[in-house]
Amino acid sequence: MNSPKNPGPARHATASPGRADARRNHERVITAAIDLFREHGALVTIPQVAAKAQVGKATVYRGFPTKEDLLESITQLGLDELARRTAKARREADPYEGFRVYVFELFDVLAHDRLLAERLADAVSQTALPLLEPLIEVMETARATGKLRADATPRDVRVLLCGAALQLVRFGERDPAVWRRYGDMVLQALCHRP
C-alpha cells in the first residue's frame, strides 16, 4: 500500500492527465495564435484562435486573460526568433556587413510575420523599441566604418524602417522579395555617398 508521502503510480497517473491536457491545450493555443497573428496581424480575434486551436474561448482566456496578453506573448516569440536570426549579424567582424545582414534579416522576418510588421509600423509603440534598439546599436558601430552616412541618426532608422513597414503592411504585401527590395532601399538611403 502506498503511503501519503509516496503517492505511487496510480495517484500520479490520475493527477497528470489534467496537467498534461492543460499543457497540450496551451501549446495548441500558442501554435494557433502564432499561425493566425503572423498571417493576419492583430485583427485576429480570440474566438478565431480558439477555433483554430480546437479549444473553447475559456481555455484561451485561462492562459491569456486579455487579447493584449496573447498579442504580447506572440510578439515576444517573434522578437526571440529575430534575436536568434540576427545574433550572427551582431557578431560580424565587419560592422557594416553586420548592419547590412541585420537589415535584410529584419525585413525577411517582417515579410513572414504580419504582427511584428504591424508593431514595427507603429514606430511609437513600446513593442517597436525591442525591434529597433539592437539595429540602432549595430548602425552606430557601422557608422564608424565610414560606410554609412555620418549624419544617420536613430530617428532616421525609425522613419525609414517604420515607414517602409507601415506602407508594406497597408498594401498587404506578403512577397518576401518585395520586402527585401525595400530593405535594400532603406540600406541604400543610409549608406555614405562619396
Same-domain status, 80 and 55: no
Total domain count for the chain? Answer: 2
Q: How far is CA 175 from CA 8, 76, 108, 167, in A?
A: 56, 23, 10, 14
Where residue 45 sits, what CATH number does that domain have? Answer: 1.10.10.60
Q: Taking a C-beta distance cutoff of 8 angstroms, is the pair 141, 89 a contact?
A: no
The pTM score is 0.77
Say what the pLDDT of residue 55 is.
96
Q: Which three cell numbers stand for residue 25?
A: 491545450
Q: What is the pLDDT of residues 95-108, one digit of tens each?
A: 999 999 989 988 98
> Distance of alpha carbon 187 from its chain centroid, rounded?
21
| pLDDT at residue 25, as a whole number | 93
Do 94 and 60 fall within a single domain? no
Average pLDDT, the chain: 84
